[in-house]
Amino acid sequence: MNLKKRFQYFFNHKFVRRTATLQIGSFGGTIVQAVVGILLARLLQPELLGIYSLAFGLAATTSLVIGMGIQEAVSSLLGRSYAQKDKAETENILGFMFKITFFAALIVLVFSFFLPNIADRLYGDSVIGIYASIIVVAVILSSFFFTLAYSAFQVTGRIRSLTYLIVIDQSLRSGLSLVLVMAGFGVLGAVSGHLVGALILFISSALLFVNLKIKDSVFPDLRRLIISAKSISLKKYFGFTFWVALDRNMGNLFMALPVILTGIYVTVSEVSFFRLAFGYVNLALSLLGPVSVLLNVEFPKLHIENKEKLAENFKKVSLYSLALSIFLTVTAVVISPIAFKIFYGESFLPSVPYVAGLIVYGALYGIGVGLGPMWRAINKVKISILINSVILGMGIPLGLWLIKSYGLWGSVIMVTVWFSVSHLISFIYLIKKLNIKNG
Angle value at C-alpha 158, between 156 and 163, nearest 5 degrees = 135
Q: Contacts by 315-321 with C-beta closer than 8 Å and gap 24+? A: 315/431, 317/291, 317/369, 317/370, 318/366, 318/367, 318/369, 318/370, 318/427, 319/367, 321/288, 321/291, 321/366, 321/367, 321/369, 321/370
Are residue 175 and residue 292 in the same domain, yes or no?
no
Residue 199 has pLDDT above 50, yes or no: yes
* pLDDT for the residue numbered 220: 85
* pLDDT for the residue numbered 27: 65
Of 169, 198, 232, which closes a domain?
232
Are residue 84 and residue 152 in the same domain, yes or no?
yes
* pLDDT for the residue numbered 11: 45
Closest Cα to residue 93, out of 142, 155, 138, 141? 155
Are residue 260 and residue 178 in the same domain, yes or no?
no
What is the C-alpha separation between 59 and 71, in angstroms, rounded? 19
pLDDT band at 332 (very low <50, low <70, confident <90, very high): very high
Are residue 264 and residue 153 in the same domain, yes or no?
no
Mean pLDDT on 227-252: 79
Query: Alpha carbon of 62 to those of 16, 137, 187: distances in Å?
Result: 35, 11, 19
Q: Does 10 map to a domain? A: no
- Residue 277 or residue 223, greater confidence: 277
Are residue 228 and residue 267 in the same domain, yes or no?
no
Of 184, 205, 232, which closes a domain?
232
Q: Does 342 map to a domain? A: yes
Alpha helices by DSSP H, listed for 181-234, are 186-215, 222-231
Range ranked top by mean pLDDT from 91-105, 148-162, 338-352, 359-373: 338-352
Are residue 46 and residue 175 in the same domain, yes or no?
yes
Are residue 172 and residue 260 in the same domain, yes or no?
no
* pLDDT for the residue numbered 263: 95
Mean pLDDT on 45-58: 95
pLDDT band at 10 (very low <50, low <70, confident <90, very high): very low
Q: Does 8 map to a domain? A: no
Residue 40 has pLDDT above 90, yes or no: yes
Mean pLDDT, all residues of the chain? 85
Q: Does 387 map to a domain? A: yes
Q: Does 17 map to a domain? A: no
State in Å, rounded, how far the first CA of the chain is from the last one: 28
Residue 83 has pLDDT above 70, yes or no: yes
Of 232, 254, 280, which closes a domain?
232
Residues 338-368: tens digit of each pLDDT: 999 999 999 999 999 999 999 999 999 999 8
What is the C-alpha separation between 370 and 295, in angstroms, rounded? 7
Q: Does 16 map to a domain? A: no
438: alpha, beta or left? (left if phi > 0; alpha if psi -120 to 50) = alpha
Are residue 225 and residue 268 in the same domain, yes or no?
no
Q: Does 7 map to a domain? A: no
* pLDDT for the residue numbered 23: 58
Contacts of 344 (CB under 8 A, 6+ apart): 38, 41, 42, 276, 351
Using an 8 Å Cβ cutoff, are 230 and 172 in contact?
no
Are residue 201 and residue 273 in the same domain, yes or no?
no
Residue 148 has pLDDT above 50, yes or no: yes
157: alpha, beta or left? (left if phi > 0; alpha if psi -120 to 50) = left
Are residue 258 and residue 217 in the same domain, yes or no?
no
What is the C-alpha separation between 57 and 54, in angstroms, rounded? 5
Are residue 62 and residue 164 in the same domain, yes or no?
yes
Among 162-166, 170-174, 276-280, which stretch is predicted with the lowest mean pLDDT? 162-166
Residues 212-232: tens digit of each pLDDT: 877 788 888 888 888 888 888
* pLDDT for the residue numbered 72: 65
* pLDDT for the residue numbered 337: 96
| Domain ranges, residue 84 | 24-232
* pLDDT for the residue numbered 208: 84
- Residue 72 or residue 148, greater confidence: 148
pLDDT band at 17 (very low <50, low <70, confident <90, very high): low
For residue 267, the SS3 value is coil
358 φ/ψ angles, rounded to the nearest 5 degrees: -90, 15
Are residue 260 and residue 387 in the same domain, yes or no?
yes
pTM of the model: 0.82
Q: Does 161 map to a domain? A: yes
Task: Work out how many domains the chain is built from and give that number.
Answer: 2
Residue 15 has pLDDT above 60, yes or no: no
Residue 161 has pLDDT above 70, yes or no: yes
What sign does the dihedral 118-120-124-126 (CA atoms) show? positive
